[in-house]
Amino acid sequence: MSQSASTAQVAVAPAGAQLELPKKHYLNDGTTIRSWLLTVDHKRIAIMYLVGTTFGLLLGGIFAMVLRLELLTPGPTIIEALTYNRMFTLHGLVMIFMFMIPAIPGVFGNFFLPIMLGAKDVAFPKWNLTSYYVYLAGAALMLWGLITGGADTGWTFYTPYSTTTTTNIAPVMLGVFVIGFSSILTGLNFIVTIHTLRAPGVTWFKMPLFVWAIYGTSIIQVLATPVIGLTTLLVAAEHTFGFGFFDPARGGDPILFQHLFWFYSHPAVYIMVLPAMGVISEAICAFSRKNIFGYSMIAMSSLGIAFVGFFAWGHHLFTSGQSAFDAGAFAAISMLVGVFTAIKIFNWVGTLYKGAISFTAPFAYICGFLFFLVFGGMTGIALATVSLDVHWQDTYFVVAHFHFIMVGAVIMGFLTALHYWFPKMFGRKYPENWGLLAAGLIVLGFNATFIPQFLLGNAGMPRRYYEYPERFAALNVASTAGASLLAFGFIIIAIYLAIALFNGEVAGRNPWGSRGYEWDTPSPPPTENFDHPVDHTRIPHDYTDTEDVATVSHAT
């Protein structure tokens, strides 16, 4: 299984020789606007998703900064209560539905899934393009709703407040419903691609781990999103026509809303974190030049998280009048999900054993990812312990926990992927030292922002508070300082990546010397992905011989 015969024995290109970009590749294969907007090439759709989701990240980031500035002083600071409530709803909705859920599957899943499987494209290319335009339509509808009056109900839009509030939430609800469709289409496309388009030699247990993670994510996307689609329709109908589904004044049951809402929203957090774990499984092998430690364990724990994630939603309802029996059942199952994450962490650290670690910017993000996943995961387990959760529910402890997982794990994963695959997607390298500086800033800024919020949670500051008692002031100031450091880090990344897009050093076929399947094609890859027939005899990330298979260069 581990013999390293490669398809073509060609002398390694001499280091430093002047490499230039391949003549024809997917970026310059038709440069009219029409060829981009009506493309069915999964790589171009990935780039369009990158543009859309980065815009979402920018927007969400701005709202986050406004929230942090407002919380600088206990009393009103820069905006008044209603705008603050709209702002944190905006921050939640834009970040989750426009960035976190579509980002890694939409950008890196679209780009690398077919290449890693050895396929020419995803199963249904036209549906892939439809999914992008449905995403844009949903995002536009949601933003239009948020701007023309906006919802002030928080991204969780708990009834009966959301059904009796005077702000118009109908367009925001329909926006979320439409974005849900895009998520379903992407997930469906990926599952069928994995099942039917694997190249010869890529069997189920020789697939890269990133593909396993995307497989688990897609299962959740397909099976959980319809329930939130229905819930948003019900809330929109109830807000406009006055049905009695969730509003107790008309006989409805608000706890039923919370069950239906969290049945989607808890698996949704695994939609966000699983792809990031997939990226880390790939990148940690590449930068420690070692095969993954326990391939089947990590693959199966991805599926485990996807499957068990569906039964753990009740830990959001511990203090909402849920029965003790349900609280116990949900808490026990949530511990199971914690074990799957622990398996992955131990196996990642195991991968470093006897490796050849090169400390580059992506590797710095991997360390950040590991630290935040351990810290966030353990606070998650503490939150799932029912009696502790009674004190922490709806306080800043919960806010800090999910930001540790979302910003800590998922955005670290996103940045790792962006830096690790930047040469493959655009053919150029980013400046290494700037990368390390930004990584340091981000990790530092992140800790300074969210560790004070853990302590705020312990002290009992509830979330979504516009004004708070004086005793919480000091920690909030610290958190806001950290937030500005974090924002500064993101700005630096945006700048040097934009510059590297056009005049970064040409990367050639495999700048990292990684043995992942996706490095067997030229970078940036041609439209039909490969310039030679694909038959993977080796397993991904097999570094047992010195000769660097992947730097073999044909065309360039």
Partner 1 sequence: MNELLRQMLFLPEQASTFALDVDHLHYFVIIVTTFASAAVGLVAIAFFWKYRQRRPNQATPMVNPTAGFEVAVITIPLAIFLLWFFIGFRDFVKLSSPPPDAMDVYVMGKQWMWKFAYPEGPSSVGVLHVPANRPVRLLITSRDVIHSVFIPAFRVKMDAQPGRYTETWFTATVPGRYQLLCTEYCGAQHSKMWGEVVVMAPEAFDEWIKDQQRGMVTRQDVLADEDQVNLQGDLREMGKRVAIDQGCLRCHSVNDAVYGSEQHIGPTWVDLYQRPTKLDNGTEIIADEAYLTESMMDPNAKIVAGYTAVMPSYQGKLSGPETAALVEYIKSLRSDRIRQASVKGPLYEPVR
Partner 2 sequence: MASTSASHAPDAPHPHGGGAGRLILVWLALLALTATTFGVSQLPIGHLHLPAAIFIACLKVVLVVLFFMHLWHAEGSNRIVFVVSFFFVIVLLFFVLADIATRFPLSNSRIPPMPQVDQKLVPSGMPPGMPAPTGSHTGEEGHR
Partner 3 sequence: MQHSAAAQQLTPEGWLPPPPLPHHYDDRVSHANAVRFGMWLFLGTEVLLFAGVFTGYFTFRAYFPEAFDQAARHLSLFLGTLNTFLLLTSSLTVALAHHNAERGKNHNAFWLLVVSVLMGGGFLVIKGIEYHEKFVEHALPGKFFNFAEITAPGGPVFYVVYFFATGLHALHVIVGMSLLTWVAVRAWRKEFSPTYYAPLENAGLYWHLVDLVWIFLYPLLYLV
Neighbours of 398 (CB within 10 A): 21
- Cβ closest to partner 1, residue 237 vs residue 455: 455
Helices (H), 105-198: 110-117, 125-147, 161-164, 170-196
> In this structure, are residues 475 and 451 in contact, taking their beta carbons and an 8 Å threshold?
no
Binding to partner 1, residues 103-132 (CB under 8 A): none
230 binds partner 3 (CB under 8 A): yes
Is there binding between residue 505 and partner 1 (CB under 8 A)?
A: no
Q: How many residues bind partner 3 (CB under 8 A)?
A: 40
Q: Which of residues 457-486 bind partner 1 (CB under 8 A)?
A: 458-460, 462-470, 475
Residue 36 interacts with which of partner 2, partner 3, partner 1, none, CB < 5 to 8 Å by class: none
Contacts to partner 1 from residues 523-542, by CB under 8 A? 542
The CB-of-11 to partner 3 minimum distance in angstroms stands at 33
Contact range with partner 2 by CB under 8 A, out of 57-65, 189-197, 340-348, 506-514: 189-197
Looking at residues 513 to 552 of the shown chain, list those that interact with partner 3 (rule: CB under 8 A): 528
- Contacts for 537 with CB less than 8 Å, ≥ 6 apart: 3, 5, 201
What does the alpha-carbon distance between residue 228 and residue 179 come to, in Å, rounded to a whole number? 11
204 touches partner 2 by CB under 8 A: yes
Tokens representing 358 are: 């090169």
Binding track over 313-342 against partner 1, x by CB under 8 A = -----xxxx--x--xx--xx--xx-xx--x
Angle (CA) 307-310-316 rounded to 5° is: 145
Task: Pick out residues in 174-213 that bind partner 1 (CB under 8 A).
Answer: none
Q: Exactly one of 103, 260, 292, 418 binds partner 3 (CB under 8 A); which one?
A: 260
Which listed option, partner 2, partner 1, partner 3, none, makes contact with residue 314 (CB within 5 to 8 Å by class)? partner 2
> Is-contact 94 56, C-beta < 8 A?
yes
Q: Which of 8, 24, 179, 45 is nearest to 101 (CA)?
A: 179
Residue in 203, 241, 502, 503 binding partner 3, rule: CB under 8 A: 241
Site membership for partner 1, residue 288 (CB under 8 A):
yes
Q: Which is nearer to partner 1, 115 or 327 (CB)?
A: 327
List the single partner that 294 binds among partner 1, partner 3, partner 2, none, CB under 5 to 8 Å by kind.
partner 1
Q: How far is CA 487 from CA 35, 159, 446, in A?
A: 35, 33, 9
Q: Minimum Å distance from CB 224 to partner 3?
A: 7
Residue of 21, 123, 141, 493 that binds partner 3 (CB under 8 A): 123
Find the length of the chain.
556
Burial string for 170-196 (b: 16+ CB within 10 Å, else e) reads: ebbbbbbbbbbbbbbbbbbbbbebbee
Q: Is 440 in the site for partner 1 (CB under 8 A)?
A: no
Of 31-39, 99-107, 202-210, 291-299, the window that binds partner 1 (rule: CB under 8 A) is 291-299
Find, among 157, 60, 155, 158, the residue nearest to 103 by Cα: 60
Return d(Cα 472, Cα 494) in angstroms, integer.
Answer: 33
Stretch that binds partner 1, among 54-62, 205-213, 293-301, 432-440 (CB under 8 A): 293-301
CB of 412 to partner 3, least distance (A): 31
Please give the Cα distance from 276 to 274 (Å, whole number). 5
Asked if 329 touches partner 3 (CB under 8 A), the answer is: no
Residue 128 is which amino acid? N
Among 202, 456, 497, 534, binds partner 1 (CB under 8 A): 456
Site for partner 2 in 234-253 (CB under 8 A): 244, 248-251, 253
End-to-end CA distance of the chain: 30
Residue 151 DSSP code:
-
Pattern 29-68, partner 3, x by CB under 8 A? ----------------------------------------
Q: Using DSSP, state whether 32 is helix, strand or coil.
A: coil
- Do residues 552 and 527 touch, judged by C-beta distance below 8 A? no
CB of residue 329 to partner 2, shortest distance in Å: 7
Under a CB-based contact definition with an 8 Å cutoff, are residues 440 and 390 in contact?
A: no
- Does residue 158 interact with partner 1 by CB under 8 A? yes
Tell me whether residue 299 is exposed, middle or buried, using C-beta atoms within 10 angstroms of its C-beta: 0 to 12, 13 to 18, 19 or more.
Answer: buried
Sequence-distant (≥ 6) Cβ neighbours of residue 300 within 8 angstroms: none
Cβ atoms within 10 Å of 466's Cβ, excluding its own: 19
Single residue of 256, 357, 459, 506 touching partner 2 by CB under 8 A: 256
- Cβ at position 194, least distance to partner 2 in Å: 9
Which positions touch partner 2 (CB under 8 A)? 195-198, 203-204, 219, 223, 227, 244, 248-251, 253, 255-256, 259, 263, 310-311, 314, 321-326, 329-330
Which positions touch partner 3 (CB under 8 A)? 119-121, 123-125, 184, 188-189, 191-192, 195-197, 222-227, 229-231, 234, 237-238, 241-245, 247, 250-253, 256, 259-260, 528
